[in-house]
Amino acid sequence: MVVEVSLGQRSYRVHIGSNLIASTGELCRDLLPKPGIRCAVVTDSNVEKLHSTPLLVSLTDAGFHPELIVVPAGEKSKSLDQSEKVCNRMISAGLDRSSFVVALGGGVIGDLAGFVAAIYYRGIPYFQIPTTIVAQVDSSVGGKTGVNSTGGKNLIGAFHQPRAVIADVDTLRTLPPREFNEGMAEAIKHAIIKDNILFETLQNLDRDDLAPFIARNVGIKAAVVSADEHETAGERALLNFGHTIGHGIENAAGYGRYLHGEAISLGIVAACALSISKAGFSKADFDRVLALLHQYELPTQLPSDISTESIMTALRTDKKFAGGSVRFVLSRGIGSAFVSKDVTLEEIKGAIEGLR
């Protein structure tokens, strides 16, 4: 399956299917008019053991000299410090402006490697090979790259579109249940903002045939990104449903306590609650969302040791606060979201309290 991300000269394809990693080298060679022979494969300490060997073989067979760069698994690797270490490894290995990067891993690796590709020699090509649900349905598509700072999540970054995304669904078989389930938060988000049929699919997901499910999510993300690449027209902001409060919780809890999708699950509950009072979202739909989150064992209640004020402090630095005003994504019903400037900080605070 192939989904096109239409961005003019920056357009690319998302390839979805089985046994795709083995053909990565050939695809890279075909898509780069004059590729250098050196490339960097950036991955983490977990994924390296599972999926790096066939990728390195494929790249070598295609005539490339891959440099494997392994970073510690986890959100803490999304940092300027780790970005510098990766860049220094690439310099030592002789990569230049004709080289390219392959990101092999989940959302952390995709964001980190994409950011490195965006800044190395002022920008070199990169390819995404997402290995988690979160990355395949969401973060690998759209060109947002970046790292975290002490002030907040993804505040340091760049738009840098990949040359291609290779979503090999076989990699999803190696995911522990917790990592599989957390990815469903992003898919549930897609359903709430754009696709009520996807919501029904999530209720009866065929785990033995995930490619159509991944493709449907990628199609939603691709359409939004194609309409608003740099989040200037408002359409792309819809993808932030559940993320304003979710990112605040992720930051306040300390990166690593919650997986990204778990924090977003809490943010989705809060956004749905606000949508009831501000947008006519029905109690019946709210209950359906809660039931689906529970189905995938995602959290819906906030522990008492994470204070509301610490979350509010974190979300005030969020990129979604434009000129001091809040751009909050609400939903009128499953499949119908919009961006509102009519949500106050006090209402957000109340929604956080409502998670307890």
What positions carry a catalytic annotation?
A: 122, 144, 186, 221, 231, 236, 240, 243, 247, 260
Closest CA to 182 of 63, 263, 93: 263
Query: Any idea which residue has 């790292």 for tokens?
Result: 147
- How far is 75 from 263, CA to CA, in rounded Å? 13
Q: Which value, in Å, is the radius of gyration of the alpha carbons in the chain?
A: 20
Q: Determine the Cα–Cα distance for residues 311 and 253; give it in Å rounded to an integer.
A: 8
What kind and span of H or E run contains 44?
strand 38-44
Q: Are 40 and 28 in contact (CB under 8 A)?
A: no
Number of other residues whose CB lies within 10 A of the CB of residue 271: 32
Instruction: Give buried/exposed letters for 127-149 (b at 16+ CB in 10 A, else e).
Output: bbbbbbbbbbbbbbbbbbbbbbe
Query: Can you tell me the distance from the alpha carbon of 199 to that of 101, in angstroms, rounded to the nearest whole number?
Result: 35
275-276-277 Cα angle (round to 5): 90
CA 233, CA 240: separation in Å to the nearest integer?
A: 14
The dihedrals phi and psi of 129, each to the nearest 5 degrees, come to: -120, 85
Instruction: Find tokens 């020699």 and name the residue.
Output: 121
Here the tokens at position 20 are 């795709």
